[in-house]
Amino acid sequence: MALTRDDYHALLQALVPPGQALPRDPDSQWQRLLETRAGAFQRLDARGDRLLEEADPRTASDLLSDWERVTGLPDPCVTGEQTLDARRAAVVRVLTGTGGASRAYFEALAASLGYQVTVEDYTAHTVGDDVATPLRGLAWRWAWTVRGPENTVSYHRVTDGVDEPLASWGNERLECVIGRLKPAHTHVLFAYGE
């Protein structure tokens, strides 16, 4: 916790040697100078405390651009402006993401982007399959489908800045991110709506 201006003023007074050249009278020039210096130290101390919040990308604001630079953001899939919370979430996603090729990984990835999806994968038809199983060739083993709502709307939150949009919608970002992170040998299909 940061010290107050009065705390710093008391500390500075304790460091001053006694004597008439440096009076203790609160209305003296010397005491007003110490009071001014105490304010500067208090602001510096408070700024140091703020750095603790900046060290965590979930709460960073002043150093968020540095976090983005280190993590290779903004994502090439992002077009236009992002909210402060979306930028923070992207940094956290890059720092904590382990990658993967499972259904659960891509569903969690979509959820972190604000999309609720399910992932379906396919297998080639074999002789032992039920007659109700669709006939698919061998190439279908490398295909999978991401199913989601027709339109996903992201609404403005109280923590967002005043210059950010009240709502945004669309699925282009989902398609771009999944297309970029999918296993290279697979083909992903996107299906929206019922």
Tens of pLDDT, residues 136-189:
777 788 899 999 887 765 655 555 556 665 655 568 888 888 998 899 999 999
CA pair distance 41, 12, nearest whole angstrom = 10
User: Rounded CA gap, 104 and 72, in Å?
Assistant: 25
Query: What whole-number distance in Å separates Cα of residue 93 and Cα of residue 79?
Result: 18
**How far is it, in rounded angstroms, from Cα 187 to Cα 194?**
22
Tens-place pLDDT, residues 86-103: 889 889 988 988 888 899
Please state the φ and ψ torsions of residue 63, each to the nearest 5 degrees: -100, 10
Q: What sign has the CA pseudo-torsion 170, 184, 118, 75?
A: negative
Phi, psi of 109 (to 5 degrees): -60, -45
pLDDT of residue 83: 83
Residue at 192: amino acid letter = Y
Please count the residues of the chain. 194
